[in-house]
Amino acid sequence: MQKQLLNLRFIFKTKVMLRTHHCGELRKEHVGNEVTLSGWVQKTRDKGGLLWVDVRDRFGITQLTFEEGSTNEKVLQTARELGREYVIQASGTVVERYAKNDKLLTGDIEIRVNQLNILNASKVPPFKIEDETDGGEDLRLKYRYLDLRRNTVRKKLELRSRMAIAIRNFLSEKAFVEVETPVLIKSTPEGARDFVVPSRINKGEFYALPQSPQTFKQLLMVSGLDRYFQIVKCFRDEDLRADRQPEFTQIDCEMSFVERDDVLDTFEAMTQHLFASIKQVDLGTFPRMTYAEAMEKYGSDKPDVRFGMEFISLNEVAQGKGFNVFDSAELVVGICAKGCAEYTRKQLDELTHYVKTPQVGAKGLVYVKCNPDGTFKSSVDKFYSQEDLKAWAEACGAVPNDLILVLSGSKESTRKQMNQLRLNMGNLLELRDPNQFCPLWVVDFPLFEWDEETQRFHAMHHPFTAPLASDLNLLDTDPGKVRANAYDLVINGVEIGGGSIRIHDKNTQSVMFKHLGFSPEEARSQFGFLMDAFEYGAPPHGGIAFGFDRLCALFGGSETIRDYIAFPKNTSGRDVMIDSPSPVSEEQLNDLGLKLK
Ligand code: ASP
**Going by CA atoms, what residue is nearest to atom 4 of ligand 1?**
212
**Going by CA atoms, what residue is nearest to atom 1 of ligand 1?**
214
Ligand 1 centroid to 264 CA: how many Å?
A: 14
Question: Could you give the dihedral angle defined by the CA atoms of residues 352, 354, 357 and 360, in that order, rounded to the nearest 10 degrees?
Answer: -100
Ligand 1 centroid to 494 CA: how many Å?
A: 16
Ligand 1 pocket mutation, candidates 212, 263, 447, criterion most atoms within 8 A of CB: 212
Q: Render pLDDT for 430-447 as a digit per residue (tens, 0 to 9).
A: 999 999 999 999 999 999
Which pLDDT score, from 0 to 100, does residue 70 have? 94
- Specify the ligand 1 atom closest to the Cα of 250: 4
Q: What is 18-120's CATH superfamily? A: Nucleic acid-binding proteins (2.40.50.140)
Ligand 1 pocket mutation, candidates 235, 462, 500, criterion most atoms within 8 A of CB: 462
Q: What is 157-289+440-564's CATH superfamily? A: Bira Bifunctional Protein; Domain 2 (3.30.930.10)
Alpha-helical (H) ranges within 280-360 are 291-298, 315-318, 324-327, 345-356
**Going by CA atoms, what residue is nearest to atom 7 of ligand 1?**
499
Percent pLDDT > 70 in the chain is: 96
Q: CATH code for 307-432?
A: 3.30.1360.30
* Sites in the chain below the pLDDT cut of 70: 1-16, 188-189, 596-597
Bridge partner list, 111: 64, 94
- Specify the ligand 1 atom closest to the Cα of 211: 4
Cα 433 → chain centroid: 17
Which pLDDT score, from 0 to 100, does residue 318 have? 97
Distance (Å, rounded) from C-alpha 412 to C-alpha 292? Answer: 12
Which pLDDT score, from 0 to 100, does residue 1 have? 43
In terms of Cα–Cα distance, which of 581, 591, 596, 583 is closest to 195? 581
**Going by CA atoms, what residue is nearest to atom 8 of ligand 1?**
544
Which pLDDT score, from 0 to 100, does residue 244 have? 86
In terms of Cα–Cα distance, which of 332, 320, 406, 419 is closest to 369? 406
Q: Which residues line ligand 1 (CB under 6 A)?
A: 190, 212, 214, 498-500, 543-545
Distance (Å, rounded) from C-alpha 340 to C-alpha 403? Answer: 5
Q: Are 65 and 79 in contact (CB under 8 A)?
A: no
- Return the domain boundaries, the chain: 18-120, 157-289+440-564, 307-432
- Specify the ligand 1 atom closest to the Cα of 486: 7
What are the backbone angles phi and psi of residue 283, rounded to the nearest 5°? -80, -20
Distance (Å, rounded) from C-alpha 582 to C-alpha 579? Answer: 7
Q: Are 482 and 467 in contact (CB under 8 A)?
A: yes
